[in-house]
Each structure stands twice: as structure tokens, then as C-alpha cells.
Amino acid sequence: MRIFTGFCFLIFLITIGSWQYGLAQETSSSLKGKTICIDPGHGGTAATDSYRVGPAGEREEWINLRVGLELKQLLQNSGAHVVMTRKKDVRVPLSERARMAVEYQADAFVSIHHNAIADSTVNFPIVYFHGNASENRAGVKLGQLLIESISEKMYRDPTPASLASDHVIFPEAGTAVLRGTYGIPAVLVEASFFTNPAEEQRLKDSTYNRREAQAYLEALESFFAADIPPIHKTDSKVQVKPFRVFQEAERMNPAARQWKSNFVKGHRLYQKGDSLSLQKAMDFFTTSARSFPDSWLARTAHRFRAKIFEAWEKKKQQQQAETSVAEYYVPLPQNDVFLNKLIKLNSVP
């Protein structure tokens, strides 16, 4: 009887210890007590557009919602308060999504999306912050953490990525949800491309959706575990001239498939250095940046545009291009590897 009683007491101690350890793990999370607004992008758009659908019929708004609901559960398990802008496949006005984050005094706003382009071979993560990088330092920091986490969780092999201002895709004002939540650490994330056939199949899998949600969770935990960088008033430090680009539907046109080949052609001509070649190079770099303004090559395309303006002694245009590079595109070290490889493969003997 003593042995049995002692054994039961031991089990009791182990159980209590495990419960206390789990409680300590939960309460030690940097997310405890934080209010996170999750915005599963789009919703209820099946009847109004034909470009937010993968080659096998999976729609972006369905994927966004599945990942959002997975993230909601993970955040709640970590002690966070969660605000969902939608819980069903319904249309919610963009202004209403932003209003919810502001009204509930969210500590962070995350808009979950997945991307589309006419080039079905493309698949890499893109994260947007609002406005200028020098002013929205919190958005940039959260974006950097998300790029790292998503690249690790969702991609088997090293991948390029893009961390850019939302003004690269909506030049005049940026995205409505990030503009409306400015002042809150906020990002809009395109974790992968559903127009890539293999990726579309993975995105149908709930386990894969949960892995993506885990990437968001870990990035948010890291973000709140450190000091949060400041967010300054928009255009208070610098103003950037808008650069016209292809809009969403246009990016599904055949011309958009040439974004990479146009960059390569531009680089070959740039190396020649003569006046006619530089003019043609400018055209190719500009077309590449317009057709895929948030690609991992867009920043470099704009850098070459600035160099060509410098060669032409067009100081104003050079400065505009350089400012766009500095404020709208955050350099990511992994992209250098892919850029060097692309140039080497396509260099003229």
C-alpha cells in the first residue's frame, strides 16, 4: 500500500510539474497580453475576379483564411488577444479591416496574402511595409523577421525574397490596409505564389497551412521580444516620386512573364557601355521593374537605372531612382547569391 501511495504521489508531482512547466512556457511568451489583428486578405471575390485562382482552381482567399485561422489558434495558445477581420469567405471593405485594428488598439497588424503572376515558375516570399523604410522602421523590422521565418518554414531550398514598400505596387498611396493602420507595426505578406502549380498543391494541405502560421507566430514572438523600432510620420524625412507599374490584373498578362529575361537583356546591354546600348538597357530595366515591381530583381533594376542616369548626367532622375532604391527596397543578403548566379549564367563570353 505504501509503495502504491508513493507511486501515485510521484505521478501527481510529475503531472503538477509538467503543468507548471507548460504554464511557464505560455506565460513567458512575448506575445502574452498583446493584441494582434489578423487580416486574411480578400474574401468573397470568386464572382468578381478570375486572376486570384491557381492553375488547379484553388483561390487565394481560401488559402488566406485557412492560414489566418491556424495563426489565430497559435496566437491564443501563446496568450495573445486576437482580432480577425474576417472568419468566413466574405467580402470585408478595406477601410473596415483597418478600422478594426485601430479600434481594438492592436499591437500589430498582419495581412495574410498569397501571390500571383503570369510566370508560373515564380515562387518566393514578399513582405510589404507602408511608406518609406527610414520612417517605418517597425514595419521593416517585422518584415525582416517574417522573411527569415517564412523562408525557413516554407522553402526546402534557399530562396530569394523581397521586402518592399507597398508604394512599389500602388505608387500613389500604398495599400489601403497598411495606410489605414499606419502607426501600428503592420505588414502585408505574400508568403508564396499560388500560380506555381507545385506550391498551389502544398497550399491545399492543412499541415502546410499550419507550418506557415507557425512562421508568422515565431516572427511575431521575436519582434515583441526586443525593443520595437519607431514609426515616424509619412514623408517627414523624404519624399519619393511615384514610379508607374503594372497593376494586379496586368501582372497576369504574357508581358509580365518577361520580367527576368528583360533584366538579363538590360544587363548585357549595360555592360557594352555605348550610348545606344545604354538607351536600350534603360528600356529593359524599366520594363522589368514595371512588370514585376516587387520582384527580388526590381531593386537591382532600379539601381542600374540610377547608374544610367548618372552616365547621362541627369542628376535629378538619378537622385529619384537612388531614393526609390533606398526607401522602397530593403536589401536582403540572400538575393546577392541569386543575382550573381543569374548574371553568371547569362553573361556573354
Q: What pLDDT is recorded for position 349?
A: 56
Taking only the tens place, the pLDDT of each residue in 271-295 is 999 999 999 999 999 999 999 999 9
For the cut 90, the answer to whether the pLDDT of residue 319 exceeds it is yes
Q: What pLDDT is recorded for position 108?
A: 98
For the cut 60, the answer to whether the pLDDT of residue 14 exceeds it is no
For the cut 60, the answer to whether the pLDDT of residue 193 exceeds it is yes
Report the alpha-carbon distance of residue 66 to residue 142 in Å, rounded: 22
* pLDDT band per the 50, 70, 90 thresholds, residue 226: very high
Report the alpha-carbon distance of residue 146 to residue 127 in Å, rounded: 8
- Compute the average pLDDT of residues 101-119: 96
**Among the ranges given (22-31, 136-145, 302-311), the one the predictor scored with the smallest mean pLDDT:** 22-31
- Compute the average pLDDT of residues 239-257: 86
Contact status, residue 144 vs residue 161, Cβ threshold 8 Å? no
Average pLDDT, the chain: 91
* pLDDT band per the 50, 70, 90 thresholds, residue 247: confident
Q: What pLDDT is recorded for position 255?
A: 78
**CA-to-CA separations, 103 to 18, 107, 182, 185, 291, in angstroms, rounded:** 38, 11, 13, 15, 37
For the cut 60, the answer to whether the pLDDT of residue 95 exceeds it is yes
For the cut 70, the answer to whether the pLDDT of residue 231 exceeds it is yes
Q: What pLDDT is recorded for position 318?
A: 97
- Compute the average pLDDT of residues 313-327: 97
For residue 99, how many other CB atoms are within 10 A of its CB? 14
84 SS3 class: strand
Report the alpha-carbon distance of residue 209 to residue 212 in Å, rounded: 5
Q: In this structure, what are the phi and psi dihedrals at residue 292, rounded to the nearest 5 degrees?
A: -145, 70
- Compute the average pLDDT of residues 62-74: 98
**Burial of 294: CB neighbours in 10 Å, binned 0-12, 13-18, 19+:** buried
pTM above the 0.75 mark?
Answer: yes
**Among the ranges given (100-114, 170-184, 245-259), the one the predictor scored with the smallest mean pLDDT:** 245-259
For residue 165, how many other CB atoms are within 10 A of its CB? 29
DSSP, res 137: H
Contact status, residue 111 vs residue 178, Cβ threshold 8 Å? yes
Q: What pLDDT is recorded for position 48?
A: 84
